[in-house]
Every structure is written in C-alpha cells, then in structure tokens.
C-alpha cells in the first residue's frame, strides 16, 4: 500500500512541478507520538518505554522510501530542487540535546486539554498530545531556514537562491 501512496505522490509532484514558480517542501514523518498520544495507541500496539518501536521502524522505512522517491524525481525533473527534512531525526536530536535549548520536559505535553496551558511553555517539546510546542517549531524553522542539518541537501535560503538561478 505504501508503494502505491508514494507512486501517487510522485504523480502529484510531477503535476505540481509543471506549475510556474512551484516550490515544493516535503516533511518526513517524525518519531511516534508523545506518551500521551501513545497511550491511546497502546491497546493496538504493545510496546515498552516511551515509543512504540514498531511504529518508529515503519516511519523510518517510509522516510527512506520517500527520500529515494524524491531523489529519483529530482533526476527526472530538470531544474528541480528537492529539499527534505527528517523530522524523526530532528525530534530524536532535540530530545538528546534538550539542555542546549532550555527544554526540560521531552515526554509530557504542556497542555493536557483541560485548564490553562503550563506557565513555562518554552520548556516542553510538545504543546499538546499531537503538536510540537512553539519553541520546538521555532528551533525547527530557524534551523531549516539557515542551516543544512535539518533541511538537506540545502537550507531554505539556499533553495530560494538556487530557484532564482533558473
């Protein structure tokens, strides 16, 4: 089934590429959801620890296939530039280096859906059970805009410059 989805994805990318001035940005899947969301999934997906490893392995496989599909499309579509980002890797590195960014909680959500959000929102990776916090999004956006570690093989500033050369 995922091969079919990536095939359809390729057809859509080719169609979008034909549009004048098209810039297409593709995000890879991040790691399995936060613990709060994982609890809802756990009945169907037995796991130990913070993540359902079977879900993570499926996401890693999907990301690898998506990267290969984008590489193939770039070789077929003259003048195309595909920048991809591996949000799975980004979240793993953010969790491993949380102190560098002043993050203290990598497991719990700032807002549980009841009452007010936590007072120190910039200390959490997750805002709620399904969404990254503002600080997480800011770290991601800044890195993708200016660095080539999150968005590869070039950052967004380089992509805009390269697109202007066409």
Domain boundaries, the chain: 25-164
- Contacts for 68-75 with beta carbons within 8 Å, 24 or more apart? 69/6, 69/9, 69/10, 70/13, 70/26, 72/10, 73/10, 73/13, 73/14
Q: What is the pLDDT of residue 49?
A: 56
pLDDT band at 32 (very low <50, low <70, confident <90, very high): very low
pTM of structure: 0.70
Q: Could you give phi then psi for residue 88, rounded to 5 degrees?
A: -60, -50
Structure tokens at 102: 């002043």
Q: What is the pLDDT of residues 37-56, one digit of tens each?
A: 544 555 555 555 556 677 77
DSSP state of 101: G
Cα 67 to chain centroid, rounded: 13
Q: What is the pLDDT of residue 94?
A: 93
Residue 33 has pLDDT above 50, yes or no: no
Q: What is the pLDDT of residue 133?
A: 93
């Amino acid at each position: 089934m995922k091969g079919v989805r990536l095939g359809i994805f390729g057809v859509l990318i080719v169609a979008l590429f034909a549009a004048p001035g098209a810039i297409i940005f593709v995000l890879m899947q991040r790691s399995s959801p936060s613990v709060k969301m994982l609890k809802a999934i756990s009945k169907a997906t037995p796991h130990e620890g913070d993540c359902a490893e079977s879900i993570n392995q499926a996401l890693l496989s999907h990301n690898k296939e998506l990267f290969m599909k984008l590489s193939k499309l770039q070789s077929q579509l003259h003048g195309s530039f595909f920048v991809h980002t591996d949000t799975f890797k980004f979240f793993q590195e953010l969790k491993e280096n949380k102190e560098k960014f002043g993050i203290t909680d990598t497991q719990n959500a700032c807002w549980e859906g009841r009452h007010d959000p936590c007072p120190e929102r910039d200390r959490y990776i997750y805002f709620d059970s399904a969404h990254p916090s503002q600080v997480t999004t800011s770290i991601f956006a800044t890195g993708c805009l200016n660095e080539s570690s999150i968005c590869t093989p070039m950052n967004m500033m380089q992509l805009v410059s390269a697109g202007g050369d066409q």
